[in-house]
Structure 1
Amino acid sequence: MRWAQLTLVENDPGRYDPQTEVPLHHRSAWMGDADPFGQLFDGCRRRNMVVIARTDPHAAHQDVCDAHPDWIAVDANGDKRRHWASPELWVTCALGPYNFEFMTAVHKEIASRYAVDGIFGNRWSGSGMCYCEHCQRTFRAATGLELPRTTDPRDRARRAHLAWQEQRLFDVWRLWDREIRAINPRARFIANAGGGALSPLDMKTVGELSATLFADRQARHGLMAPWANGKNAKEYRATLGRKPIGGIFSVGVEEPYRWKDSVQSEAELCIWVADGTANGLRPWFTKFSGTLYDKRWLDSVEKIYTWH
């Protein structure tokens, strides 16, 4: 099976985003009253395509912060965290009610309205240490300790936090999967998770929870070896057994500037995807934006998919 991923940007929703009735779920200013995502979904179904929706709960707009300031991540100084790349946004806490309540409602609405085959959660596991009121209270109730102020693994609170954080993430993973399957038993929550020996989550548990996983290692950068993609496949195979695994690859450059409308050379695309495929990853290209400014990548991906 071959996969394609279209990640829509802010000026796309007038054509592609879903409608929503969940309070505080952001709607693009360009969207209008139509249901463009529904039209895209219907078109895919007419072509007998599997459809997986993608959510990203790691940031929120000002109206969310105004209505629920407790949903916003807090740094060690007690300040709410602005987004590092989009300062008009706020970074959300992954371990409190934003994920457990708000995003649960979002996922249930998507599963009910569109009958997608799964929901892929991007950046669902948080953006670093959070000291919000929910993290403080929940961690204290679970461990009897205050949130750690050090990264020293010898610190008792630090060790307890690592275990507590992992448990909270697995709890919300199970919650989303359960709620989605209650609506559509054939659908699953698919976490953007995993990283082999360096993963912050226990990969044995990840393998047990997952029906499938996609290695989100979109391209190499710097001096990374081309066989690094095959390493991703081996790490996934070690915990998922014979479950299907995919390898997400970007048609754009993945250097620090990471301009998403860029296009890599055919040789670079082919060697990266070939090494992953040889080790069991199913190819999955991702394209950011619904507008094609540079079409040079189309023939390259067509050749890869024809061969596969």
Structure 2
Amino acid sequence: MVIENRSVRIVGAIRQGRYLCEVRAGQYWRLENLKSFDVISLPLTKSSRAGIKIVNRRKFLKTTGAAIPMTSRLSPLLRSSSLSAEAVSSRPTPDLVALPPRMAAVDPATQQWQQKIRRVGQSNMTEHDPAVMNIEEWADYWHSAKADIVFISVTGILAFYPSKVRFHRHGKFLNGRDFFGECVAAAKRRSMRVVARMSPDLNWGDALDAHPEWAMRNQDGSVQFSDEEPRLFKTCMFTSYMDDYVPAIMREVNSIYDVDCFYTNGWPPLGSLPECHCEVCSKLPPSGTPAYWRVFDDRVFELWQKYDAIAKEKNPNSFFFANLGGNVRGGPNLDRLGKIAAWFQADNQGRTYDDPAVWGCTLQGRVCNAVMDGKFAANVTAAYSTGTVTWRNASKNPAEAEMWL
């Protein structure tokens, strides 16, 4: 397409009659009222600018749900254009305004520590690890992989340190050992930072007996239990479990260990909105409705800020962040969270039945860049197979593992 002797590359159709165009590298305009490629009808004079709106790349990704077609798909249409240079020259000069730079320059001296991270290591601990895992070898492995920071399990339903918080059950192989503390010390000796990894979405029967109000409930009032381990009940995010129990663990860890930040896996809920009929949730709008989503989003935002403030009680450079899932799916309001989140944690462990291809991860990356405004983001991918049969029981093909990285 040519506008006043300028070469204009169409990079995407927002919807019929409206296109995102690139006039020069990194400069974009949104052109409206484009009826076809043969006839340009754009009210672009200084007296009437209704047909042109400035939109930066981040805003475009944030406010539109359309995929950007490849330019090559549009080339046949461009070649078929009958627009002549003479016809173009007779039109008013377009009043085009250059967009601001895509991202402001970052001063390394004032850059937050997490923005300097380039590689993250994560080994999820199991109950048996305190009895058999060689901590020095574990730390040497991640250091040799040039990891800048490692996730270490505080609780994966079981405590990996001698916690004094009630209902924070110790693993049967812990035997009073401070396994978490030893891992933290080994990482720090190798100049690796530490993420304290927590899983607040499940707990055991003794907690349920003492606090039945903590459980998610079915419509008939029965407790919702884990599909993988029926002894574990699902905790409700609208109860005091999230207000009292989780902060108690965070404060205990913060008071004892030199951790750099806190992370929750399994919260907020991923993919679809939770459906709970406990006493608290029965007073909320029905799950799956826009009204419920607004209440859900407010609660996520409230707890995120609460946990972030707790993380900063010991160190103002610490923070809280959470698993925000994989691909591009509904969940918390990412635009809203992006304004307070210091770290966007994407979770794309590999191909599954729901996510058969890698491009879902790339789409999430676009969304992430749009909402985080240059702040840190990382993607989790797995060394194990994610197929239905071999889930976490076999290694991933090396070529595929490299592809995800």
Which residue does the alignment assign to 1:54?
197
Whether 1:254 aligns to 2:348 is: no
Whether 1:136 aligns to 2:253 is: no
- After superposition, what is the alpha-carbon deviation per residue over 1:224-272, rounded to whole angstroms, capped at 9, x for unaligned? 2233332222121111121121111100111224532410111111112
Residues 194 and 208 of structure 1: CA distance in aligned 2, closer, same or farther (over 3 Å): farther
Q: What is the deviation of 1:197?
A: 5.4
Which residue does the alignment assign to 1:22?
165
Q: Provide the secondary structure at the position in 2 that maps to 1:81.
A: coil
Q: Provide the secondary structure at the position in 2 that maps to 1:247.
A: strand
Gap regions ≥5 residues in structure 2: 1-117, 136-159
| Aligned mates of 1:238, 1:62 — CA distance in 2 | 42
Which residue does the alignment assign to 1:34?
177
Runs of 4+ residues over 3 Å off in structure 1: 13-16, 194-197
Question: Alpha carbon RMSD of aligned pairs, Å?
Answer: 1.9
Question: Does the aligned pair in 1 maintain the 2:328–2:363 contact within 8 Å?
Answer: no
Q: How does 1:66-77 map to 2 (within 5 A)?
A: 66-77=209-220
| Aligned mates of 1:62, 1:212 — CA distance in 2 | 33
Among 221, 224, 249, which residue is 2:352 paired with?
221
Gap regions ≥5 residues in structure 1: 140-146, 152-157, 274-308
Q: Which has the higher helix share?
A: 1
Among 253, 257, 265, which residue is 1:114 paired with?
257
- After superposition, what is the alpha-carbon deviation per residue over 1:268-292, rounded to whole angstroms, capped at 9, x for unaligned? 111121xxxxxxxxxxxxxxxxxxx
Which residue does the alignment assign to 1:160?
291
| Aligned mates of 2:358, 2:297 — CA distance in 1 | 31
Bigger relative contact order (CA 8 A; separation at least 6): 1
Question: Does the aligned pair in 2 maintain the 1:75–1:81 contact within 8 Å?
Answer: yes
One-letter amino acid of the counterpart of residue 170, structure 2: R
One-letter amino acid of the counterpart of residue 278, structure 2: C
Which residue does the alignment assign to 1:172?
303
TM-score, scaled to structure 2? 0.60
Which residue does the alignment assign to 2:20?
none
Which residue does the alignment assign to 1:93?
236
One-letter amino acid of the counterpart of residue 216, structure 1: D
Which residue does the alignment assign to 1:206?
337
Q: Across the two proteins, how many residue pairs are aligned to each other?
A: 258
One-letter amino acid of the counterpart of residue 188, structure 2: R
Q: What is the deviation of 1:118?
A: 0.8
Q: Provide the secondary structure at the position in 2 that maps to 1:53.
A: strand
Question: Does the aligned pair in 2 maintain the 1:18–1:38 contact within 8 Å?
Answer: yes
Q: Which has the larger radius of gyration?
A: 2
- After superposition, what is the alpha-carbon deviation per residue over 1:137-156, rounded to whole angstroms, capped at 9, x for unaligned? 5x3xxxxxxx42x74xxxxx
Question: Does the aligned pair in 2 maintain the 1:253–1:262 contact within 8 Å?
Answer: yes
Question: Does the aligned pair in 2 maintain the 1:120–1:189 contact within 8 Å?
Answer: yes
Residues 76 and 8 of structure 1: CA distance in aligned 2, closer, same or farther (over 3 Å): same
Question: Does the aligned pair in 2 maintain the 1:194–1:236 contact within 8 Å?
Answer: no
Residues 263 and 225 of structure 1: CA distance in aligned 2, closer, same or farther (over 3 Å): same
| Aligned mates of 1:211, 1:258 — CA distance in 2 | 34
